């Protein structure tokens, strides 16, 4: 991002800049479980979130602006989602899609499920439902776009650097498991 994350842009420039950013969200779908099917449904002809500027063809996290975590995150999977998130360039946004990703959902008392993806990475928008309808994802995306339109990038980046990520803060997370 260079100077963008350090210098506050003048208001009109920021408006145009944010307008451009909010309608070109390259999206990386981290499809974990049932919700991934509804994510695909949202990307096909009937619901078609490409009309909102969300492009679901990012080749990997390094090309993506938006991470949609759809499905149950297990403790075994948590290091992978953290690593994918860290591979994404700033500014990056996360939508937690579905009850499992929000809080553990129907597996609230399971021994192997992470109770919410926000224990691992910071989340911007939570979409509730089990699984949420494709319309709910569209609503979540519009909420996120509204947020992007009115945000100040330097503030966001400054806030991000103070974000404490709890899981794995003391012990390094590896793909081999904890």
Partner 1 sequence: MSDLSTREKIHPGTAPGEDIALEIVGDGDFATTDMTLSIGPAHPATHGVFRIVLELNGERITAARPVIGYMHRGFEKLAEYRDFRQIKALVNRHDWLSGFSNELGVALVVEKMLEMEVPDRAQWIRMLIAEWNRVLNHLMFVGSFALELGAITPMFYAFRERDEIQYLLEAATGGRLHFTYNQVGGLKLDLPKGFLAESVRLSKLTQERLPDYFDLVLGNEIFQARTVGVGPLPPEVALSFGVTGPTLQAAGVPEDSRVTEPYLKYDEVDVPVHLGENGDSFDRFACLLYRIQYSLHIIDQIHDHLPAGPVNTKLPKMVKAPEGAAYQRIENPLGQLGYWLESDGGRTPWRLKMRTPSFSNVQSIPYLLEGMLVPDAISVLGSVFFVVGDIDR
Could you list the residues that contact partner 1 (CB under 8 A)? 30-34, 36-38, 40-41, 44-46, 72, 74, 76-77, 80, 84, 106-107, 109-113, 130-131, 133
- Residue nearer to partner 1 on the CB measure, 14 or 133: 133
Buried b / exposed e over 77-93, threshold 16 CB at 10 Å, is bbbbbbebbeebeebbb
- Residue nearer to partner 1 on the CB measure, 31 or 168: 31
Tokens of 123: 């989340």
- Tell me the CA distances in angstroms from 122 to 15, 69, 117, 136, 174, one per residue in order: 25, 11, 8, 20, 19
- Tell me the CA distances in angstroms from 74 to 11, 33, 111, 128, 148, one per residue in order: 43, 11, 9, 18, 29
CB of 93: closest distance to partner 1 in angstroms?
18
CB of 33: closest distance to partner 1 in angstroms?
6
- Residue nearer to partner 1 on the CB measure, 22 or 116: 116
Q: Using an 8 Å Cβ cutoff, are 52 and 138 in contact?
A: yes
CB of 29: closest distance to partner 1 in angstroms?
9
- Residue nearer to partner 1 on the CB measure, 89 or 106: 106
Q: How many CA atoms lie within 13 A of 73 on its CB side?
A: 25
CB of 101: closest distance to partner 1 in angstroms?
13
CB of 161: closest distance to partner 1 in angstroms?
26
Residue 41 to residue 54: CA distance in whole angstroms: 14
- Residue nearer to partner 1 on the CB measure, 76 or 178: 76
- Residue nearer to partner 1 on the CB measure, 110 or 143: 110
Residue 72 to residue 29: CA distance in whole angstroms: 13
CB of 165: closest distance to partner 1 in angstroms?
19
């Amino acid at each position: 991002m260079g100077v963008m994350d350090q210098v506050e842009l003048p208001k009109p420039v920021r408006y145009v800049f944010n307008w451009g950013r909010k309608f070109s969200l390259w999206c990386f779908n981290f499809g974990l479980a049932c919700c991934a099917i509804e994510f695909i449904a949202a990307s096909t002809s009937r619901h078609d979130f490409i009309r909102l500027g969300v492009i679901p063809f990012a080749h990997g996290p390094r090309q993506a602006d938006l991470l949609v975590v759809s499905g149950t995150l297990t403790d075994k999977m948590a290091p992978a989602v953290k690593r994918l998130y860290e591979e994404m360039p700033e500014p990056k946004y996360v939508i937690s899609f579905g009850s499992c990703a929000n809080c553990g959902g129907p597996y609230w008392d399971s021994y192997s499920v992470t109770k919410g993806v926000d224990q691992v990475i910071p989340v911007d928008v939570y979409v509730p439902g089990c699984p949420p309808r494709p319309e709910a994802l569209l609503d979540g995306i519009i909420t996120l776009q509204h947020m992007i339109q009115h945000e100040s990038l330097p503030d966001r980046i400054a806030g991000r650097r103070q974000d404490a990520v709890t899981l794995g803060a003391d012990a390094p997370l590896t793909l081999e498991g904890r």
